[in-house]
């Protein structure tokens, strides 16, 4: 190899056009933006779930005059037991089955049919 020859690399990546490189960057940016939006939505859903749990705890305490000791002794262990049962069913039979069983159990406890807060609209076939 002679001393006079130098290898010059292209500033935007060898063999890739600048337009292609910009398209790659736009696609990467879009993927990252979509992931950030999904993570934010998941965080809001978890926050709403926790707030719903707080609401339920306050309602149980008010309705049945349950104090902190009974909540710790009776309610929270029962809540964890049901959660473990749901997790087991999810592992064995799938998420849809487990949550349908939970819904049916809640309907049995309440003696009425329960509905989701949001049902996806049914597809209209014309």
Same domain, 58 and 80: no
Same domain, 46 and 81: no
* 86 domain-assigned: yes
Taking all residues of the chain, what is their mean pLDDT, rounded to a whole number? 85
Residue 90 lies in a domain: yes
Mean pLDDT on 1-18: 64
> What is the helix, strand, coil percentage profile of the chain, to 5?
70, 0, 30
Show the domain range for 78: 66-115
Kindly state whether residues 107 and 72 are assigned to the same domain. Answer: yes
Provide the domain count of the chain.
2
Q: Which pTM was predicted? A: 0.57
The answer to whether position 7 is within a domain reads no
50 and 88 part of one domain: no
Residue 88 CB coordination number (10 Å): 11
Of the candidates 121, 122, 87, 80, the one whose C-alpha atom is nearest the C-alpha of residue 101 is: 87
Query: 106 and 77, same structural domain?
Result: yes
Among the candidates 48, 65, 82, a domain finishes at 65
Distance CA 51, CA 115 (A): 19
Q: Is residue 1 situated within a structural domain?
A: no
The per-residue pLDDT for range 21-51, each reduced to its tens digit, is 899 999 999 999 999 999 998 888 888 888 9
């Amino acid at each position: 190899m002679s001393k006079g020859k130098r290898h010059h690399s292209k500033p935007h990546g060898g063999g890739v056009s600048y337009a292609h490189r910009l398209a790659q960057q736009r696609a990467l940016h879009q993927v990252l933006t979509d992931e950030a939006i999904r993570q934010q939505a998941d965080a809001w859903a978890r926050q709403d779930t926790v707030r719903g749990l707080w609401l339920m705890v306050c309602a149980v305490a008010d309705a049945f005059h349950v104090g902190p000791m009974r909540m710790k002794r009776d309610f929270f262990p029962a809540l964890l037991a049901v959660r473990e049962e749901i997790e087991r069913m999810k592992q064995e039979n799938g998420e849809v089955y487990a949550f349908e069983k939970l819904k049916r159990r809640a309907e049995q406890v309440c003696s009425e049919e329960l509905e989701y807060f949001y049902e996806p609209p049914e597809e209209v076939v014309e």
